[in-house]
Structure 1
């Protein structure tokens, strides 16, 4: 079943066209990845889905509902949660306080316990540091916190924007392993990532974005084996 559909989406910053006539789908239970160079429009696409950037044209449908004009906070209530590029944690708050903020839109606040337990199972390091202030943590720990905070919203669709950016290699492997685990537990994932090797090897399907337009799509495995993709994004060829 189609969970998310973007149809003919265009986004502008003033006169600058960041995304043009973009159409894509994310089916329930998938990991779908968007790859592309810096400035290709990946993060703009994510902001459009989460409601932070208005569309110049096109429509967004989520779980069968047109959410094109729906406010960002109401999209969280519907089941879309994002761990943004740059992590965006609250640096002056503890790990627990950050995670609690992730659940701010939930009506069932009395039943947060199992979701907090799930985050701590996925990220044992957060459990060890639950009273530590977020701003004093390493980049990898902050990324774990950003993903954990997004999961506290109990999303149907988890948007991950450059989760491996600036991380040490051992953290990159760990983050991608956990993304797969989150998906296997039943959460659909849309992933924007410059680490094409890791992203494509984990994704069910993928789209290639160039200067705001989708130029290629296919299974993660097929794009990983494509010579032009290898040359452009994997440094092979």
Structure 2
């Protein structure tokens, strides 16, 4: 088991955002979290990446308890997040943004190899490597955010709403690349409003409602689940 959340509760002040959720991610999987706004998807991501402290419960990663570990040390351990809203550095060039993704590393030959991998996945970034991040299109900024996360060479890549605000053609391209990243050996935990794309690409998925997991199963099974179809796929 690469990642395991055990009875995780997360609060923002008096508001309980996660109510004792338990979930697993196996090495080599794409696992999707779907649900409405406010369901607890991003809170789950922030719990895994260490950006929020748990009220109770445990998080295990690669066999070790990381519940109290700082966020930056989780990056070193192999967890990296591409955040909702992309969070690129707009005044830095594409190349400088990608360099920031490798800030915890000292293995220069491997960093150069990973940069070539990112440019292979995202040829547009190579074309624009000297261009300021803030001048890129929305789709290109999303590619840069994912590429920057890959530069840390994660065992587990956290993707928070990678399709947000993008045109349908670009969304398909982003999800094709997510599938390719997974096929190259990176485990992916994906939070996504576009349930159709997420479930069609995911090996397994969890459905969150108001901070609780209400369904889990294979991506294909949830795609044809009547309640999921009605609530998240716009099919009665």
TM-score by length of 1: 0.99
Residue 163 of structure 2 corresponds to residue 164 of structure 1: yes
Secondary structure in 2 matching 1:141: helix
Alignment match, 1:46: 45
Residue matched to 2:184: 185
* Aligned mates of 1:232, 1:18 — CA distance in 2: 21
Per the TM alignment, residue 108 of structure 1 is displaced from its structure 2 partner at its CA by: 1.5
Q: Aligned residue for 1:145?
A: 144
How far is 1:109 from its partner? 3.2
Q: Matched residue of 2:2: which SS?
A: strand
Q: Match of 2:235?
A: 236
Q: What per-residue deviation string (whole Å, max 9, x for no partner) do you get for residues 41-94 of structure 1?
A: 100110110000000000000000100000000000000010000000000000
User: Which 4+ residue blocks in structure 1 deviate beyond 4 angstroms?
Assistant: none
Contact 1:31/1:183, CA 8 A, preserved across alignment: yes
- Cα shift readout 1:153-197 (whole Å, capped 9, x = no counterpart): 000000000000000111100000000000000000000000000
Q: How does 1:50-69 map onto structure 2 within 5 Å?
A: 50-69=49-68
> Quick check: 1:10–1:55 contact (8 Å CA) kept in 2?
yes
2-structure distance, mates of 1:190, 1:63:
15
Q: State the TM-score, normalized to the length of structure 2.
A: 0.99
Decide whether the 8 Å contact of 1:103 with 1:109 is kept in 2. Answer: no
Q: Partners in 1 of 2:145 and 2:39 — Cα distance?
A: 23
Q: Take 1:76 and 1:108, find their aligned partners in 2: how far apart are those partners?
A: 15
Give the match for residue 131 of structure 2: 132
Map of 1:216-235 to 2, 5 A cutoff? 216-235=215-234
Task: Report the Cα offset of residue 231 of structure 1.
Answer: 0.2
The CA distance in 1 between the partners of 2:169 and 2:96, in whole Å, is: 27
For the residues of structure 1 that align with 2:166 and 2:99, how far apart are their CA atoms? 25
- Alignment partners' CA distance in 2, 1:102 and 1:207: 28
| Alpha-carbon distance in structure 1 between the residues aligned to 2:223 and 2:192 | 14
Shift of 1:113: 0.9
In structure 1, runs of 5+ residues without a counterpart are: none
Output one character per residue of 1:9-58: Cα deviation in whole Å (capped at 9) or x when no partner.
01000000111101000000000000000000100110110000000000
1:73 alignment counterpart: 72
Q: Distance in 1 between matches of 2:192 and 2:217?
A: 16
Find the aligned partners of 2:126 and 2:106 in 1 and give their Cα distance: 24
Deviations 1:77-120 (A, max 9, x none): 00001000000000000000000000001131343111000000
Quote the Cα distance in structure 1 between the aligned partners of 2:52 and 2:25.
20
1:111 and 1:152 map into 2 onto residues whose CA distance is 10
